[in-house]
């Protein structure tokens, strides 16, 4: 078995494995961990358009707002942490959520990981054939922008697996592991391009939550079309 690492939705398809770990640190999988900690069932969705409202209504779920609306539940992990009375949440994003949504129905076990729960995920997937996918961000033209925070998040999961005796890393996976081990967190997360973008938008608290390395033991697993705590 090889432990593989790739980027984005195309990479997720290219390195298909029985277990695929999706990493989107700022912010889908970080928000996902907070939601699952609070007992929420989370439905990933490709992006927030007119279909998302129908999708949420069909599942009697709350549709997360755009972060910029600054009201109600959104992709912001701080907003989910503060939410009350939400049991089911549709959480759209063009990156991590879209990748998870695209993997639903493929037969793979899809797991959501971030810096907050990387060690817990590594414990849960150890002993299986695993691919780790960093979601990345998007340039204005829609093309993939590799995001260093997702490299660190993926590397944290891979490092956890290596520490449990997993071998057979591809060079790409080994590179991600080394990137995580050399990162200075939380300072690097705040200083990176995505972190600075959120800080400048007034969402520095979201970056702080994302930097809570191994603060969570939850392992969100996609069951059908929704993420729930692993059993």
C-alpha–C-alpha distance, residues 34 and 89, integer Å: 12
* Summary mean pLDDT of the chain: 95
Residue 125 structure tokens? 């997937």
20 within some domain: yes
228 within some domain: no
Q: What is the mean pLDDT of residues 202-231?
A: 97
72 within some domain: yes
99 within some domain: yes
The closest of 85, 146, 158, 147 to 121, measured between CA atoms, is 158
CATH code of the domain covering residue 183: 3.90.1560.10
Q: Domain of 163? A: 4-223
C-beta separation of 156 from 120 below 8 A: no
Please state, for a pLDDT cut of 70, what percent of the chain lies above it.
Answer: 99
Where does the pLDDT of residue 219 fall: very low under 50, low under 70, confident under 90, or very high at 90 and above? very high
- Taking only the tens place, the pLDDT of each residue in 124-175 is 999 999 999 999 999 999 999 999 999 999 999 999 999 999 999 999 999 9
Q: In the chain, how many domains are there?
A: 1
Tell me what pLDDT residue 1 has. Answer: 66
Tell me what pLDDT residue 68 has. Answer: 76
Tell me what pLDDT residue 160 has. Answer: 98
pTM confidence score: 0.96
- Taking only the tens place, the pLDDT of each residue in 72-106 is 899 999 999 999 999 999 999 989 999 999 998 88
Specify the higher pLDDT residue, 213 or 46. Answer: 213
229 within some domain: no
C-alpha–C-alpha distance, residues 152 and 112, integer Å: 14
C-alpha–C-alpha distance, residues 231 and 228, integer Å: 9
Q: Where are the beta strands (DSSP E) in 32-178?
A: 41-45, 62-63, 88-92, 109-113, 130-134, 137-138, 144-145
11 within some domain: yes
Residue 134 structure tokens? 């960093």
Give phi and psi for 219, each to the nearest 5.
-125, 95
C-beta separation of 42 from 63 below 8 A: no
231 within some domain: no
98 within some domain: yes
């Amino acid at each position: 078995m090889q432990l593989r690492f790739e980027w984005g939705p195309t990479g997720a398809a290219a390195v298909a494995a029985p277990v695929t770990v999706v990493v989107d640190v700022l912010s889908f999988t970080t928000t996902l961990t907070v939601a699952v900690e609070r007992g929420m069932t989370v439905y990933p969705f490709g992006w927030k358009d007119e279909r998302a409202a129908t999708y949420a209504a069909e599942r009697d779920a709350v549709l997360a707002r755009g972060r910029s609306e600054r009201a109600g539940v959104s992709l912001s992990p701080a907003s989910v942490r503060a939410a009350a009375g939400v049991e089911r949440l549709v959480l759209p994003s063009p990156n991590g959520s879209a990748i998870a949504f695209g993997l639903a129905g493929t037969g793979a076990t899809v797991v959501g990981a971030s810096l907050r729960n990387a060690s817990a995920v590594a414990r849960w997937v150890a002993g299986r054939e695993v691919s780790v996918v960093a979601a990345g961000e998007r340039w204005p033209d829609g093309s993939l922008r590799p995001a260093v925070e997702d490299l660190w998040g993926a590397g944290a999961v891979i490092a956890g697996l290596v520490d449990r005796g997993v071998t057979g890393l591809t060079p790409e996976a080994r590179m991600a592991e080394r990137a995580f081990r050399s990162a200075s967190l939380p300072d690097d997360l705040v200083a990176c391009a995505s972190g600075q973008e959120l800080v400048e938008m007034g969402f520095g608290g979201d970056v702080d939550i994302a930097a809570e390395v191994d603060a969570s033991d939850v392992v969100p697993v996609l069951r059908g079309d929704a993420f729930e705590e692993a059993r």
